[in-house]
């Protein structure tokens, strides 16, 4: 046996590598939900860290490992590659397939846990937006997935929305830039795969009767095309209004979560043609990280920054860094510490904080006054969070409790 690892964890050596994954004893496994896979996938917990193990051919495992490592270097939302286990054999000397090890994405949910039975239309819309944003970001990066699907995606809550993460990269390729043909091929694969996945749910009577698979497929493609157009189209504006229109376009892209590295401009008859170079998503995430050190999803970061900006205005602080430090120590951290240990697996801290902000607003609207943070925290913990399932392990819970 040979282990190539990006993360040195000696406990990996103690796993029963001489046994096929499908025959591993239950005492080594963790029960977590997963999507449909053509490979055998198992979850194990070592030193409080959960890993996903996938059996596949050596060449495929090595390619996927390298791709996931490359995506990690450019901060793309994908699972983290940890190790490859090669040259496995049974005690009788029979060869076994290579295993790719990735770190399980905490607080993530596969699509089957969210699409089944009682998925509300607005929740479906949020999932489709997250998937469209993932694929736009992927194509801007120059990554051709080759197997766009719900099964190969995980979803995490993101302040009332969802953030999507790539799980399976074995069919992908990373290029300096994608051609229109490569983009179109990915979208056609997306259309076929999602249609098949929804038909599978429908056949198993796991799809809400109001959801039309064909309409969902058309919708996700339309969402992708609208977002791709927004971040890439050339815009012609009158010469005198160029500065204002450029600033407005950049603000709109920032609101969508995309950073702009530069703006290409050229003169045309009576005006200026502008085309922003969008480099990546994560505008609010990076600003929050720079100011506070908090790592959050994009919508979470946007709401946390709004709360920080409100705190700064109310405190009459002119220095942004000073305001961020005080907000972190006087507002965010006390709220997180107020969550009892038994409730901390329900949601990640950043999501809890954003939900408390929304809960405080609702309580204040009902009361006709600002109820204050402390009462809002206690009300949220008792009336909302305590009733939620643990999103680190959601097997066996009713789907309606996940879809809200």
Dump pLDDT digits (tens) for 143-191: 999 988 888 898 887 767 788 899 989 899 999 999 999 999 999 999 9
Within a domain: 16: yes
Q: Do residues 253 and 221 share a domain?
A: no
Contact 46, 144 (CB under 8 A): no
* pLDDT at residue number 400: 41
Residue 165, token pair as written in the block: 């993460």
Q: How far apart are the first and last CA of the chain?
A: 45
The alpha-helical segments, DSSP class H, found in 58-141 are 58-73, 111-115, 121-141
136 burial level (CB within 10 Å; 0-12, 13-18, 19+) = buried
Phi, psi of 275 (to 5 degrees): -145, 105
Q: Do residues 308 and 363 share a domain?
A: yes
Within a domain: 291: no
- Structural domain of 338: 296-401
Residue 313, token pair as written in the block: 């205005």
Q: How confident is the model at residue 8 (pLDDT cuts 50, 70, 90)?
A: low
Higher pLDDT, 206 or 365: 365
**CA dihedral angle for residue 41, residue 400, residue 342, residue 362, rounded to 10 degrees:** 140
Q: Do residues 56 and 127 share a domain?
A: no
Percent of the chain with pLDDT over 70: 87
* pLDDT at residue number 116: 56
Q: Do residues 112 and 225 share a domain?
A: yes
Q: Do residues 60 and 155 share a domain?
A: no
Q: Do residues 225 and 112 share a domain?
A: yes
Residue 65, token pair as written in the block: 């490992």
Contact 245, 153 (CB under 8 A): no
Contact 64, 170 (CB under 8 A): yes
What's the mean pLDDT in 318-327?
88
Q: Cα–Cα distance between 324 and 326 in angstroms, integer?
A: 6
The CATH number for 145's domain is: 1.10.510.10
Q: Cα–Cα distance between 160 and 298 in angstroms, integer?
A: 11
Q: Do residues 259 and 314 share a domain?
A: no
Specify the pairing of strand 161-166 against strand 153-158.
Answer: antiparallel
Q: Do residues 138 and 92 share a domain?
A: no
Contact 54, 24 (CB under 8 A): no
Q: What is the pLDDT of residues 49-67, one digit of tens each?
A: 889 999 999 999 999 999 9
Among 23-32, 86-95, 351-360, the least confident range: 23-32
* pLDDT at residue number 259: 65
Within a domain: 224: yes
Q: Do residues 164 and 270 share a domain?
A: no
Within a domain: 290: no
* SS3 call for 54: strand
Within a domain: 218: yes
Count up the domains in the chain and report the number: 4
Q: Do residues 218 and 240 share a domain?
A: no
Q: Which of 49, 82, 103 is the last residue of a domain?
A: 103
Q: Which of 232, 248, 266 is the last residue of a domain?
A: 232
Residue 104 backbone class (left: φ over 0; alpha: ψ -120 to 50; beta: rest): beta
What's the mean pLDDT in 361-367?
89
Count of alpha carbons within 13 angstroms of residue 124, beta-carbon side: 19
Q: Which of 103, 129, 152 is the last residue of a domain?
A: 103
Contact 166, 144 (CB under 8 A): no
Q: Cα–Cα distance between 98 and 88 in angstroms, integer?
A: 7
Question: What b/e string do you get for 46-85 counting C-beta neighbours within 10 Å, with b at 16 or more?
Answer: beeebbbbbbbeeebbbbbbebbebbeeeebbbbbbbbbb
Within a domain: 244: yes
* pLDDT at residue number 348: 85
Q: What is the mean pLDDT of the chain?
A: 83
Q: What is the pLDDT of residues 225-260, one digit of tens each?
A: 988 888 887 878 776 666 677 777 777 777 776 666
Q: What is the pLDDT of residues 53-105, one digit of tens each?
A: 999 999 999 999 999 999 998 888 899 999 999 999 999 999 999 999 999 88
Contacts of 327 (CB under 8 A, 6+ apart): 292, 307, 308, 311, 312
Percent of the chain with pLDDT over 90: 30
The answer to whether residue 266 scores a pLDDT higher than 80 is no
* pLDDT at residue number 119: 59
Q: Do residues 217 and 134 share a domain?
A: yes
Q: Cα–Cα distance between 137 and 196 in angstroms, integer?
A: 24
Contacts of 221 (CB under 8 A, 6+ apart): 187, 190, 191
Within a domain: 289: no
Which of 116-125, 274-283, 289-298, 355-364 is predicted most confidently? 355-364
CA-nearest of 177, 192, 180 to 147 is: 192
- Helical (H) or strand (E) element with 16: none
Within a domain: 287: no
Locate the DSSP E strands across 140-241: 143-144, 153-158, 161-166, 173-174, 235-238
Q: Do residues 316 and 381 share a domain?
A: yes
| Residue for token pair 């995309």 | 258
């Amino acid at each position: 046996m040979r282990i190539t690892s990006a993360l040195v964890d000696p406990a990996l050596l103690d796993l029963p590598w001489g046994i096929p994954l499908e025959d591993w004893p239950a005492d080594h496994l963790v029960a977590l939900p997963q999507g449909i896979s053509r490979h055998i996938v198992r979850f194990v917990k070592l030193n409080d860290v959960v890993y996903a193990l996938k059996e596949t051919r050596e060449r495929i495992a090595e390619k996927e490992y390298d791709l996931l490592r490359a995506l990690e270097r450019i901060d793309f939302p994908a699972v983290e590659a940890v190790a490859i286990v090669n040259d496995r054999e049974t005690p009788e000397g029979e060869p076994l397939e290579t295993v790719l090890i990735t770190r399980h994405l905490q607080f993530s949910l596969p699509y089957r846990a969210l699409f089944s039975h009682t998925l509300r239309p607005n929740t479906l819309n949020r999932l489709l937006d997250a998937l469209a944003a993932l694929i736009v970001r992927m194509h801007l990066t120059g990554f051709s997935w080759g197997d766009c699907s719900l099964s190969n995606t995980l979803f995490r809550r993101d302040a009332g929305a969802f953030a999507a993460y790539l799980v399976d990269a074995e069919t992908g390729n990373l290029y300096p830039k994608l051609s229109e043909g490569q983009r179109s091929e990915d979208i056609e694969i997306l259309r076929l795969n999602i249609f098949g996945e929804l038909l599978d749910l429908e056949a198993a009577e796991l799809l809400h009767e109001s959801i039309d698979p064909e309409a969902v497929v058309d919708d996700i493609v339309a969402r992708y095309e609208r977002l791709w157009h927004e971040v890439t189209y050339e815009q012609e504006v009158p010469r005198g209004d160029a500065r204002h229109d450029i600033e407005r376009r950049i603000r709109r892209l920032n609101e969508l979560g995309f950073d702009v590295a530069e703006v290409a401009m050229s003169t045309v008859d009576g005006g200026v043609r502008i085309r922003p170079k969008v480099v990546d998503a994560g505008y609010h995430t990076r600003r929050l990280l720079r100011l506070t050190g908090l790592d959050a999803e994009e919508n979470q970061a946007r709401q946390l920054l709004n709360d920080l900006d409100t705190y700064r205005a109310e405190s009459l602080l002119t220095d942004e860094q000073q305001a961020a430090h005080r907000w972190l120590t006087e507002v965010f951290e006390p709220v997180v510490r107020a969550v009892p240990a038994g409730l901390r697996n329900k949601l990640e801290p950043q999501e809890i904080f954003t939900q408390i902000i929304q809960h405080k607003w609702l309580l204040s609207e009902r009361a006709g006054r600002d109820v204050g943070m402390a009462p809002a925290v206690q009300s949220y913990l008792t009336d909302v969070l305590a009733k939620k399932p643990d999103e680190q392990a959601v097997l066996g819970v009713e789907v309606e409790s996940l879809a809200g």
